[in-house]
Amino acid sequence: MKSSKVRRGLIASLTAIASAGMLALGAGGAHAANTSNIDPSKTGSLTIHKYEKPAAPSNLPNDGTLLTPAQTAALTPMAGVTFTVQKVNNIDLTTNAGWTAAAALTPAQAAVQAAKPGTTTTTDMSGTAALGNLPLGLYLVTETGYPAGVTPSAPFLVTLPMTNPGNQNSWMYDVNVYPKNAVTTATKTVNDASVLKLGDNVQWTITSDIPNVNPIDGYRIVDKLDSKLSYTNSTVALSNNSALALNTDYTIAFDTATNSLTVDFTASGRAILAANPTAKVLVTVNTTVNTVGEITNTALVYPNAASFSITPGQPNGPVVTPPVAVTKWGNIVLHKKDSQSSAALAGAVFSVYPSRADALAGTNAINVGGVSSWTTDASGNLVISGLRYSNWASGATVNPGQPGYQSYWLVETKAPPGYGLLAQPVETTVTSNNPSAVTVTIDNVLANAGFQLPLTGGVGTWALTAGGVLVLAGAGLFVVTGRRKRNEAK
């Protein structure tokens, strides 16, 4: 009896030692654990918690346990991200050999023997997606659907169950994972506050995030210009002034057929981007406006190689900048008429100036397409086309007195025949691109305000002259007669 107790005690001790050794191996290795404690009758669950990747490492646990709300408070959840979960065939985690085989696999290798098509699950508004009643085994998790502009997390492997990190003598059948996505946003702005006319430089700036991943397998920016814009040139820089070299770190190509600019980062350029994840990529595009109208321009930012082949606007595709970058160009439509009869007046010539001071001094007349003066036609109209809107600058409404607000000043340089010139410049604005809508009406009065002047050589002048001669002759006769009478009296 005693020897039997000793034997049982020895066996128990060896079992304990073996168990401790297996658990120690599990703590130090990728998947090894004491599989004798796995309950093959159980099922597991996998809960995926999806967040945006923070700029700085969070240093939160990633051991399969559920994080507390306090631990995730600073993270931004991501809804609408779809994962495909596939059980890897021929891996039996109830055996040591199964754990060894699992530990030897990479995600790419596991994909070859993974069950197809797998099960999909999509994160809700809290960024959570859950799958329950999963058979025990090795699972490949792949992010297969995500919003545009997102760089997905890499495929990863997870075992059900896992050794419980809080109690190394037990198994955890409900596993939580926290893959994070690098989210790229982009904007496009326009700077036209200092420009006046067609042909002036209108500058656009595309500002985009750098995905917080390493390596970055692709990064491309495409700007398809509106047909009313003509491309001049462009530059590329980082917001923190880290050096980038054209044709070494990035290339610039402009396709005249599609009016599109493409900036592609090379391997060396992408390495610079990965080393500066908090910086912004700045692409400055210089253009000229060639046609009046309201011009909306957007750009595309492809943050990874997979997005290159996706149609803009579709999941997994590029970022499309919001359409807030607008430049507006229109006309002054002037109507010239008689101040009393309202008859249309042809032949009036006008120039336009950017300020009242210029208009008074006759300096800096605006020249649009080589033309700096315009003449009213038979209907009394003229159109000065190709001027920036007065009340719209750098993509936003502006009011009088604000930076970018632009009045225009009209000066009559030649009056219609028989009419007088305007005495002072006329202020007007550009708020439309309709060439038929009159924006300013200017009256003209007759020369000398309509008052008649005596005409040299005319009938009136002859009569006046003749009358004057007769008066003078009469006066002379009176003087001579008077003298004669005085002499006779003597």
d(CA 414, CA 385): 20
Q: What is the pLDDT of residues 338-352, one digit of tens each?
A: 999 999 999 999 999
pLDDT at 455 over 70: no
243 burial (CB, 10 Å; 0-12 / 13-18 / 19+) is exposed
Residue 339: C-alpha distances to residues 23, 428, 441, 446, 447 (Å): 103, 19, 10, 9, 12
Question: Which of 27-41, 198-212, 235-249 shows the lowest per-residue confidence on average (mean pLDDT)?
Answer: 27-41
* pLDDT given at position 451: 58
Question: Which of 24-33, 52-61, 67-76, 143-152 shows the lowest per-residue confidence on average (mean pLDDT)?
Answer: 24-33
Which tokens go with 25?
A: 């191996």
Q: What does the domain layout of the chain look like in residue ranges?
A: 32-183, 186-324, 328-450
Q: Is 488 left (phi over 0), alpha (psi -120 to 50) or beta?
A: alpha
CA within 13 Å, CB half, 280: 12
Question: Which of 76-85, 162-171, 386-395, 460-469 shows the lowest per-residue confidence on average (mean pLDDT)?
Answer: 460-469
Given a contact cutoff of 8 angstroms between Cβ atoms, the answer to whether 203 and 190 are in contact is: yes
Q: Hey, what CATH topology would domain 32-183 get?
A: Immunoglobulin-like (2.60.40)
pLDDT at 99 over 60: yes
What's domain 328-450's architecture? Sandwich (2.60)
Residue 481: C-alpha distances to residues 279, 471, 488 (Å): 113, 15, 11
- Whether 32-183 and 328-450 share one fold: the answer is yes
Give, in words, the CATH class of 186-324: mainly beta
pTM of the entire structure?
Answer: 0.75
Strands 180-183 and 51-52: parallel
Of 206, 203, 184, 182, which Cα lies nearest the Cα of 193?
Answer: 203
Which tokens go with 455?
A: 């005409």
> Who contacts 298 (Cβ-Cβ below 8 Å, separation ≥6)?
188, 224, 320, 321, 322, 323, 325
The count of other CB atoms within 10 Å of the CB of residue 66 is: 13
Given a contact cutoff of 8 angstroms between Cβ atoms, the answer to whether 320 and 312 are in contact is: yes
pLDDT band with cut points at 50, 70 and 90 for residue 456: low
Of 86, 170, 83, which Cα lies nearest the Cα of 135?
Answer: 86
